[in-house]
Amino acid sequence: MFLLKVNNIDVFYGDAQVLHQVSLTVREKEIITIVGVNGAGKSTLLKTIGGILKAANGEIWFMDDRIDLLPSHQIVDKGLIRIPEGRKIFPTMTVLENLELGSYLPKAKVKRSESLEKVFDLFPVLKDREKQSSGTLSGGEQQMLAIGRGLMSLPKLLMLDEPSLGLAPLLVKQIFNTVREINVQGTTILLVEQNVFNALDMAAEGYVLENGRIVLEGKSQDLLTDEYIKEAYLGV
Amino acid sequence: MTLPGIPLLLQSIVSGILIGGVYGLVAIGLTLIFGVMKIINFAHGSFMMLGMFTTYWLYVLLGIDPYLSLLLTIPLLFLFGLLVERFLIDKILDAPEHNQLLLTLGISLVIENLALFLWSPNFRTIDVSYANKATTLGPVMISFPKVVAFVFAIFLTTVLYYFLKNTDLGKAIRAASEEKEGALTVGINLKKIYYIAFGIGTACVGAAGTVAAPFFYVSPQVGGVFVITAFVVVVLGGMGNFLGALIGGLIIGLAESVGAAIIPGQLKQFIIYFIFILVLLFKPAGLFGKANA
Ligand SMILES: Nc1ncnc2c1ncn2[C@@H]1O[C@H](COP(=O)(O)OP(=O)(O)OP(=O)(O)O)[C@@H](O)[C@H]1O
Ligand SMILES: [Mg+2]
């Protein structure tokens, strides 16, 4: 059963076409990764799936619903949650307020205290900093908050846009472990990364995006041993 | 320049603080709209005028007490602002700034000219019994309607502050003003937040119009008097800063009133612009920075 299906979407910024005929499938419980260099169109793809950009052509399906024409808040309500590149937390609001806003919509709000507990279990440091304004958190803590806020929205599919960006190696490892943990607990993951080795290592399948086109897709093990990937992305 | 005596000085301090509360309320509406939508609403003054006229006509035609009419002006102006945003402002949110300016300016011209046409440019006053009521405290005369206006302004500001701080909708409004993409990712419907915030901003300035009506003249162009001041207050308090707007209102009220006691005649407006220029030069982010309350 697929959870998300993107069929041949084209996306433009003004006259400039940034995505060309992109298709991908995410099945339930899987971790899928999209890798690509700066400017390949990874964030554009996630934003389009999340409904804050609109595809000029093509379709996007989430479970049984066509979602590419829906406004973003309705997509969030269905459990398709995006954790944006650069975190986009609310800097003057406290950690707790940020998390509460993750459960802004009615369905998530009902489970607010339950979800909070889960997030604090996953990231005890957020519990310690509950009352702190989130702009004063360290980069790693902000990323945890962004993920925690996403979890508060009760994701069925969690899309993460470069969660390891700008973090020290130890933290990168921790974030990847957390993503794995979230997946083990039952959430499907669509992970965008430039950290190609770690991402493929964790995912079941991968897509390689270049200049707005999917140039390669397949099982992660196959991609990891692919000569082109090794040369162009893994530097071996 | 003349040196005022102590009684005159005290009098001007009290009057300044009282009117400053009303300036604060006008400015809070403006700063809320700016903070959330990044739009400078040049129609704000005409909304205030509508608040005043609503109160005026409710009093003249139906005999409804001006303060009681708040129960009507607040929801009416909220609804009016909501509709203006939903059907007009919404269309130009992504447009260049000069287009936004033209639209809000255009809205104010239409409203004011319609008011001129319907109600003539005459200055009207509401002849309630308490319009000139005052008590004296030592050398200082304290006007009853100005005290009511001040107390109400503080009260409404407090309610709004509580709403923004403690309710989910209030938090969503703050979230939308801080980080739009973040707001979208948690499922906030920005379009809805915009018309609600615009409605609240309009209700604030409408309410300010209502409480000012018993001690101020009512005319189609009255809004301009308050709104020029409110622009200065908003910049002084930090664009988009809620509490900054209230404190800025008090400061400008004081400066204007005390200034008028020191500097003769028509020069009192000069004080406000002088402060305005000083702030722009030395503290362009406002006295209280850019942060949201
Ligand atoms: N708002 C925008 N307006 C115009 N062009 C844009 C806009 N956002 C992105 N682009 C362009 O679209 C292309 C894809 O950008 P996108 O952000 O999707 O890439 P990315 O793969 O996420 O890159 P990165 O790894 O640096 O985040 C780039 O060429 C970028 O310059
Ligand atoms: Mg990106």
> What is the best residue among A11, A43, A165 to mutate for testing ligand 1's pocket, by most ligand atoms within 8 Å of CB?
A43
On whether both A106 and A223 belong to a single domain, the answer is: no
Both A163 and A192 in a single domain?
yes
A169 token code pair: 């190696």
Whether A73 and A169 share a structural domain: yes
Does B291 have pLDDT greater than 50? no
Contact at CB, B182 and A88, closer than 8 angstroms:
yes
DSSP B167: S
Domains of chain B by residue range: 6-282
Both A161 and A148 in one domain: the answer is no
Q: If pLDDT is split at 50, 70 and 90, which confidence band does A233 have?
A: confident
Q: Is the pLDDT of residue A236 over 80?
A: no
> Within 13 Å, how many C-alpha atoms sit on residue B18's CB side?
19
Q: Are residues A75 and A15 both part of a single domain?
A: yes
Same domain, A196 and A210: yes
- Domain endpoint, select from A154, A182, A199: A154
Cα–Cα distance, B40 to B33 (Å, whole number)? 8
- pLDDT tens-place string over residues B203-244: 999 999 999 999 999 999 999 888 889 999 999 998 888 899
Distance in Å, alpha carbon of A161 to nearest chain B alpha carbon:
12
8 Å CB contact of A72 and B187: yes
Mean pLDDT of A86-106: 97
Which residues of B fall within a CB distance of 8 Å from A77? 187
Protein residue closest via CA to atom 18 of ligand 1: A41
Residues A132, A36: one domain? no
Task: Give the pTM.
Answer: 0.93
Q: Check B186 against A101: CB less than 8 A apart.
A: yes
Judged by its nearest atom, the ligand closest to the C-alpha of residue A39 is 1
Q: Any idea what DSSP says for residue B267?
A: G
In this prediction, the answer to ipTM > 0.90 reads yes
pLDDT digits (tens, 9 = 90+) for A7-23: 999 999 999 999 999 99
Q: Are residues A63 and A160 in the same domain?
A: yes
Tell me: do A143 and A38 sit in the same domain.
Answer: no
Q: Are residues A139 and A189 in the same domain?
A: no
CATH of the domain spanning B6-282: 1.10.3470
- Which of A104, A124, A154 represents a domain boundary (last residue)? A154
Nearest CA in chain A to B169: A104
Whose CA is closest to A24, among A59, A52, A51?
A: A59
Kindly report the three-state secondary structure assignment for every residue of A16-77: EEEEEEEEEEEECCCEEEEECCCCCCHHHHHHHHHCCCCCCEEEEEECCEECCCCCHHHHHH
CB contact under 8 A, B185 and A92: no
Note whether A93 contacts B: Cβ–Cβ < 8 A.
yes
Nearest to B57 by CA among B148, B4, B129, B118: B118
β-pair type (A65-66, A57-62) = antiparallel
Contacts of B167 in chain A (CB under 8 A): none
| A30 in B contact zone (CB under 8 Å) | no
Tell whether A68 and A167 lie within a shared domain. yes
Tally of structural domains, chain A: 2
Report the pLDDT value the prediction gives residue B290, as an integer from 0 to 100: 52
* Domain membership of residue A221 as a residue range: 1-79+156-236
How many A-B residue pairs are in contact by the CB < 8 A criterion?
73
Q: Are residues A34 and A129 in the same domain?
A: no
